[in-house]
């Protein structure tokens, strides 16, 4: 485990749903995409794949979602800095009862007393309305609302309907979060709606890129942010 602090002048972030590692080439893509990133937020990560060993030099925290006798998948957050604390959340799909996970982590920033809080979310998907989805995001809101420093809220939100996007937009407004200004938006879509998001507060946009891959049904997002003056 590293004892480094995050350099807030140059925060390099990866967000990716790796689809439980069921597609060939995902390990090679993850190693390539995570090169030099400070913070990696992975959804549908499997404990059995030993990702922390694959990405050496990172501290990590895991929130389990789907579990069987043979595997456990969930959300995994890896960081170049030590994880100060972590808070897992678990919600069930209302129809198929499959668990979905969210994870709140916190990190100390270099040359400032501020800390960075990060939410890594795999959102409820198969629901007839938005009530369960909204309940999940409200849980995240209450975990973050009293934090005075910068925030990153990222993950696979399954925002495949405008109504679901409206719930996410309401969370963003309540926490004063901004979305990335995608120049070439190759994010995975369903019904014309992007599913994956990196939202942030108290940070300035530097760059972002979405990389089409064949190793998952989601395309990874890489972004660079810096602490706002």
pLDDT digits (tens, 9 = 90+) for 7-51: 999 999 999 999 999 999 999 999 999 999 999 999 999 988 888
Measuring CA to CA, how many Å separate 110 from each of 117, 156, 159? 14, 29, 34
Name which of 150, 155, 147 is nearest 40 in CA terms. 155
**Any domain includes 5:** no
Q: Give the per-residue pLDDT at 29.
A: 96
Average pLDDT over residues 84-88: 94
**Any domain includes 63:** yes
For residue 16, the cross-strand partners are 42
Q: Give the per-residue pLDDT at 66.
A: 80
Per-residue pLDDT band for 2 (boundaries 50, 70, 90) equals very low
**Any domain includes 218:** yes
* In the predicted structure, residue 65 carries a pLDDT above the cut 90: no
Tokens encoding 226: 């810096």
Write down the pTM of the prediction: 0.94
Q: How many CB atoms lie within 10 A of CB 190?
A: 12
Q: Give the per-residue pLDDT at 204.
A: 97
Pairwise CA distance, residues 104 & 75, whole Å: 10
**Any domain includes 6:** no
**Any domain includes 3:** no
Per-residue pLDDT band for 67 (boundaries 50, 70, 90) equals confident
**Any domain includes 2:** no
* In the predicted structure, residue 1 carries a pLDDT above the cut 50: no
**Any domain includes 1:** no
What domain range includes position 51? 11-227
Tokens encoding 58: 């990172």
**Per-chain mean pLDDT for the chain:** 92
**Any domain includes 74:** yes
| CATH, residue 64 | 3.60.10.10
Number of domains forming the structure of the chain: 1
* In the predicted structure, residue 192 carries a pLDDT above the cut 90: yes
């Amino acid at each position: 485990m590293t004892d480094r602090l995050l350099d807030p002048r140059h925060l390099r972030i990866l967000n990716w749903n790796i689809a439980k590692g069921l597609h060939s080439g995902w390990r090679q893509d993850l190693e390539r995409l995570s090169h030099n990133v400070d913070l990696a937020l992975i959804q549908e990560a499997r404990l059995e794949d030993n990702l922390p060993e694959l990405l050496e030099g990172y501290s990590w925290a895991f929130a389990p979602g789907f579990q069987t006798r043979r595997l456990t998948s969930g959300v995994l957050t890896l960081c170049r800095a030590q994880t100060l604390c972590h808070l897992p959340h678990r919600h069930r799909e209302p129809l198929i009862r499959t668990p979905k996970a969210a994870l709140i982590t916190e990190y100390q920033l270099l040359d400032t007393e501020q800390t960075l809080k990060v939410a890594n979310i795999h959102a409820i998907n198969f629901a007839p309305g938005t009530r369960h989805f909204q309940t999940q995001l409200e849980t995240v809101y209450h975990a973050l609302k009293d934090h005075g420093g910068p925030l990153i809220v990222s993950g696979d939100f399954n925002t495949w309907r405008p109504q679901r996007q409206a719930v996410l937009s309401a969370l963003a407004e309540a926490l004063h979060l901004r979305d990335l200004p995608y120049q070439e938006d190759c994010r995975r879509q369903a019904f014309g709606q992007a599913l994956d998001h990196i939202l942030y507060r108290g940070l300035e946009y530097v760059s972002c890129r979405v990389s089409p891959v064949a190793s998952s049904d989601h395309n990874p997002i890489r972004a660079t942010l810096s602490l706002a003056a």
